[in-house]
Chains A and B, each alone.
Chain A
Amino acid sequence: MISDQDEIMVVEDERESRDYLVQILQLEGFKVVAFGNGAEALNYLHQPASPCLIILDMRMPVMDGTKFRSAMLQDPRLAKIPVVVITAFEPPMAASLAALRVFRKPIDVGALLDTVREIC
């Protein structure tokens, strides 16, 4: 069974950043599922699940954003899911990830929500 397609997935290892982002998205009326690293998120996607958008951090333990994204791109079903990258690194480091948009931390929350509303 494929889970809700209006669900947003947040993959971010820093607990506080993740919690607050999830709460903001929920207050804006979105369904949100969140994970602390790429491996847990990939596991969830293989259930299978197809969120409408993945908000992905880069530097994470166990499986980082780059490895998670390349695993997604190797699976035709997962490759179709749009990804927005949030990163404290310089944008060029995230440019090769075939992401819809790259947001640099501290995130412009208004612009992120605009992108989320466009897609979900």
Chain B
Amino acid sequence: MWSNVQDLRALRPVKHAPMGSASKNKPQETNPGAGDVAALLAAIVDSSDDAIVSKTLDGIITSWNPAAEKMFGYEAAEAIGQSIRLIIPPELQAEEDYVLGQLRQGEKIDHFETTRQTKDGRRLNISLTISPVRNAEGVVIGASKIARDITAKKQMEREREAALERLSEALAGRDEFIAIAAHELRNPLNVLMLLWQLMDRTQGHSSASRESLIERSRSQLARLSSLVDRLLDVARIRSGTFDLYLENFELGSLIRQVANRFELESPENHISVQLEPHIEGTWDRLRLDQVMTNLVSNAVKFGLEKSIFVTASVNDDQVIITVRDEGVGISSEDFARIFKRFERANARSHNEGLGMGLWITQQIVQAHGGVVMVQSELGKGSTFTVRLPLRTKKV
């Protein structure tokens, strides 16, 4: 029954009408069972979720089922008699020329994935199957088109691809992190290995020199331990199990302690500290110690042994902390990278560290509701500024 365009047109004499009424339009019907078959087919077409449309070889629509009305927004009465180009977006009009060319040669087009446009201008991803329709003599006189809306499927495919891409980036990031971590852990391990070899060779030497070697071993073990702590911090922040333990305390004394620690560590470190008196607030003491340690440690690393200036003052309900060095500075192209995980401003820098210090600093400051900023000029030094609310609110 599908082999005649007249039959197809007859499927839609009345909108959504069952085939029984349509068959009245076919006076030459001789086979008594044919009307029932046609009614059955019409019912199938009417109840299909896929848009089923027929058209002439000039592309004029001759039938339009309810699913086509729902999918493209045109009523059957609006669509029938119009060109099928009605639903083809302007930039894809050439597709119709190709389709009509294929049909004239009697070729079928299977599962052709393309885009069509609805009456209200929405774009749909559809899969098209277009078959030539022949008359009793076998001459192609039109086409039937079945269109399936695959917009949701395409959207899912895009989401899946994006998720795979994110996953593969995350895996590459993790691999890179493991490589950097292994590299950084090897340096203190190397010092320890050499120290123990040295101790082995200095048995019988003065106890003072051996004491000093043991003390140096301890300091290397502390360095290793701090590297491992940073690795764990990254894991905690990433998994969202990073909690603040808030308490009231005076920030100035914490800043002085950190500066003193660096001055004790190495006599080359000159740290000038200028503080407003009594900066009382609510913060996580250990985490702010970490922030100050990271910022001062950076200033020491990149400060070319020049003076380092630390200030803290209160402005309204915020404390503003600055750490300034007069060292190597950061180039403008490195600005965006330095707060990312595992990045050093200079990737080939000889300085140790996992490149996580600034990232961790930023995460801690943000958890307190604050911000961390940097101003820098290559060759002139850097200033890191931290703004924190005086009273951190428990999230």
Contacts and interface: CB of A to CB of B under 8 A. Distances in A.
Contacts of B191: 14, 16-17, 20
Given A16-B216, A106-B190, A106-B192, 16 more contacts: A14-B187, A14-B191, A16-B194, A16-B195, A17-B187, A17-B194, A20-B195, A20-B197, A24-B198, A60-B350, A64-B350, A88-B184, A88-B186, A88-B187, A106-B189, A106-B194
A107 B191 CA distance: 9
A88 B189 CA distance: 10
Interface string B282-294: 0000000000000
A23 interface: yes
Contacts of A104: 186
A61 interface: yes
A60 B201 CA distance: 28
A14 B220 CA distance: 13
Interface string B200-212: 0110000000000
Contacts of B350: 13, 59-61, 64
B193 interface: yes
A80 interface: no
A20 B201 contact: no
Central interface residue in B186, B197, B198, by most chain A CB within 10 Å: B197
Contacts of B202: 27
Contacts of B193: 106-107, 109
Given A59-B350, A60-B350, A17 B183 contact: no
The 3 closest A-B pairs by CB, nearest first: A20-B194, A105-B190, A106-B193
Contacts of A59: 348, 350
A105 B201 contact: no
Contacts of B186: 88, 104-106
Interface of B: 179, 183-184, 186-187, 189-195, 197-198, 201-202, 216, 220, 348-350
Nearest to A19: B194
A44 interface: no
B73 to A, nearest CB: 61
Contact of A64 (B194, B197, B348): B348
A21 interface: yes
Contacts of A64: 348, 350
Nearest to B187: A88
Nearest to A108: B193
A88 B350 CA distance: 12
A109 B183 contact: no
A88 B190 contact: yes
A105 B192 CA distance: 11
Given A64-B348, A89-B183, A105 B189 contact: yes
A65 to B, nearest CB: 11
Nearest to A15: B191
Best-surrounded residue of A16, A59, A61, A107 (most CB of chain B within 10 A):
A16
28 contacts: A13-B350, A14-B187, A16-B191, A16-B195, A17-B187, A17-B190, A20-B194, A20-B198, A21-B194, A23-B198, A24-B194, A24-B201, A27-B198, A27-B202, A59-B350, A61-B349, A64-B348, A88-B184, A88-B186, A88-B190, A104-B186, A105-B189, A106-B186, A106-B194, A107-B190, A107-B194, A109-B193, A109-B197
